[in-house]
A and B are shown apart, each in its own frame.
Chain A
Amino acid sequence: MATLQSLKTPIKELGETHLLPEGTTFHDITESISRVTENPAPRGWWLLFIPALALLGVMGASIAYLVTVGVGVWGNNAPAYWAWDITNFVWWIGIGHAGTLISAILFLFRQNWRTSINRFAEAMTVFAVLCAGIFPALHTGRPWFDYYLFPIPNQMDIWPNFKSPLLWDVFAVSTYLTISVIFWFVGLIPDLATLRDRSKSLLRKRIYGFLALGWRGSHRGWQHYERAYLIFAAISTPLVLSVHSVVSFDFATSVIPGWHTTIFPPYFVAGAVFSGFALVLTLLLIVRAIFGFQHIATMKHLELMNKFMLATGLMVGYAYAMEFFIAWYSGNPYESWVFLHNRLGFGATDHYGNWGPLYWSYWAMVGCNVIAPQFFWSKKFRTNVPFMFVATIIINIGMWFERYVIIVTSLHRDYLPSSWGDFTATPADMLLYLGSFGLFFTLFLLFVRWIPMFAIAELKSVLPHAHPDMAELTREEKAGASSELSPAPAE
């Protein structure tokens, strides 16, 4: 009888391999991952951490400047009231989505290779959502009144408008952040216990011990724990799809040509996963090089991620094409104008005979998002580390341009030529965006330094002999074949 075990054995003839190099033991995994938190940080870590801290300072300064002077320090003005701030918000939140996809959706599909990247990707989600939150919070103009967004009594005696997609956003993003943090923490409990048990100093033992909640690896606990993990995966999957759908509703429910389109929710979700995978891979390549984790995040993992980027890149490319089809098929002259003039930049000049001034951003987007990932059809490029590092950065530049194109090129040419305007970013725009990288990388580098950056317990469970073959053991026991054990004592 073909047992489950034999189904899990890789077929050598097909070129299948184990997820981790052959002969990896449980202790190897514990040792190589915990070591990072116990040894002094390598020089590469400091080389990244110091600039990250400096950028965090830039963020603090630019927020202080914005709050003191007012939101007018940004370039947003009539008619482009949304510009870099909302672009950055959508970009950061989109990046977070890959983390949830890896930790939840791939878990439901039993893609065991995710265990090498999920911890990482979940941390990235949490930090990216924090960065995203800064922008709309400041864009309200008076951030100290942001509590009006929540359904709590305020001095105006009025409640939030629950019919507004902007309020849906508040609920979607704050729920997303909360659930991501919980999911991440629950996944961390057994690994924090590993660090606790390895601690040499009392302080480490106290801190990790406190956070590990007294975890004893008990199977009665694992049983509930595994079910909780499954439930988190099951609720995070619709949640992550809903978050970027709700973000896209901010645009799709308005009547701005270029925004008012039903393709937005799936288009935004695909784009989010695309850019998120790119950033996970950028970070993974950096960390892999600094800490030497080539045996845990193997070429096999990198190649699978590149395939994901190719697939989502194609979806995004399809959505770009479909937008043009709908602009033509709807017969709406405003819609066609936006796409031909504002985005493509040719085919329709304005009444001065000028091309759309921001057409270059559309072409930057297509070049980065549609053309760059096509190289991943070839295995040579999918397994070339320097190439994929550059490609992931290009993809994220492209995804930033995608949001910029959607937001600014649609807004800066309104229905009436009298309301046309232009948008120019100011230094305050740029510094805050730059500063948000400081927040992200500071948190991320602290995470890789002090928290197990790979899921230790989960990696152990994907080793070839991690699970006993219960059918076999039961049969042996029935047949009395487990003779290597001495007979059980009589009562």
Chain B
Amino acid sequence: MTENQEKRPALYLAEYDSPEALAKAAMRVRDAGYQKWDCHTPYAVHGLDEAMGLKPTKLGVISFIAGMTGICLAILMIWYMNVYDYPLVIGGKPPAMSSFPSMVPIIFETSILLTGFGTLFGMLAMTKLPRHHHPIFESDRFEAVTDDKFFISIEVEDPKFDLDRTRSLLESTQPSHLELVEEAA
């Protein structure tokens, strides 16, 4: 981005030195009623769900549906291939669903495989990743988020966002650094 390009504010970024300071600040932002804001931490800080007032994740539902789909697909595949399309009689086992026990290992493995894919893609979809461009990366200080610093970001899209009021709210939480991150308009 060149210097003379027009910029517009994207988010406030407040930096903290400890997880306690972050959690205290998060409780305050939560109580102020913001929606489009987030905490950024080097590792998963336990207790932030509560401090941010987040609902539990629904990822398990996606994984469960994917796993059940795996079971159904595996049964359908084995039935179609070994019973319907080309019946195989092997080891005296009839080519029908009555030889079900011998199908269990493959049904199990397929179900695990689909649960894995469901969980991976479900997680990526819910965290909205991959997303290689984000205004937060305009901040140089933000590079420490994967090292030892803790951040709170409040985005301008939030209905309660106000350049002055949001700033004074964040200032009241005593961040070690506070900046307004801008992006190219």
Q: A-side interface residues toward B, CB under 8 Å? A: 25-27, 30, 151, 157-165, 167-168, 171-172, 175, 178-179, 182-183, 186, 189-190, 193-194, 196-198, 209-210, 213-228, 231-232, 235, 238-239, 242, 246, 249, 457-458, 460-461, 465-470, 473-474, 477, 482, 484-489, 491
Q: For B22, B44, B93, which residue has the most chain A Cβ atoms within 10 angstroms?
A: B44
Q: Is the CB of A486 within 8 A of B174?
A: yes
Least CB distance from B61 to A in Å reads: 11
Task: Please report the C-alpha to C-alpha distance between residue A33 and residue B93 in the assembled complex, in whole angstroms.
Answer: 56
Residues of the A chain whose Cβ atoms lie less than 8 Å from the Cβ of B31? 488
Q: Is the CB of A217 within 8 A of B146?
A: yes
Known: A26-B148, A197-B143. A235 touches B115 (CB 8 A): yes
Residues of the B chain whose Cβ atoms lie less than 8 Å from the Cβ of A458? 43
Q: Is the CB of B132 within 8 A of A213?
A: yes
- Contact residue among A183, A217, A226 (Cβ-Cβ distance under 8 Å from B42): A217
Q: Is the CB of B119 within 8 A of A231?
A: yes
**Residue B178 at the A interface, CB < 8 A?**
no
Residues of the A chain whose Cβ atoms lie less than 8 Å from the Cβ of B110? 171, 175
Least CB distance from B60 to A in Å reads: 7
Q: Is the CB of B105 within 8 A of A231?
A: no
Q: Is the CB of A213 within 8 A of B124?
A: yes
Q: Is the CB of A25 within 8 A of B39?
A: no
Q: Is the CB of A214 within 8 A of B120?
A: no
- Contact residue among A160, A219, A477 (Cβ-Cβ distance under 8 Å from B40): A219
Q: How large is the interface on B (under 10, 10 to 19, 20 to 34, 35 or more residues)?
A: 35 or more
Residues of the A chain whose Cβ atoms lie less than 8 Å from the Cβ of B113? 175, 178-179
Residues of the B chain whose Cβ atoms lie less than 8 Å from the Cβ of A179? 112-113, 116
Task: Please report the C-alpha to C-alpha distance between residue A242 and residue B174 in the assembled complex, in whole angstroms.
Answer: 53
Known: A163-B90, A197-B147. A175 touches B43 (CB 8 A): no
Q: Is the CB of B105 within 8 A of A171?
A: yes
Task: Please report the C-alpha to C-alpha distance between residue A474 and residue B28 in the assembled complex, in whole angstroms.
Answer: 11
Residues of the B chain whose Cβ atoms lie less than 8 Å from the Cβ of A213? 124, 129-132
Q: Is the CB of A482 within 8 A of B90?
A: no
Least CB distance from B66 to A in Å reads: 10
Task: Please report the C-alpha to C-alpha distance between residue A461 and residue B42 in the assembled complex, in whole angstroms.
Answer: 9
Q: For A167, A179, A220, which residue has the most chain B Cβ atoms within 10 angstroms?
A: A220
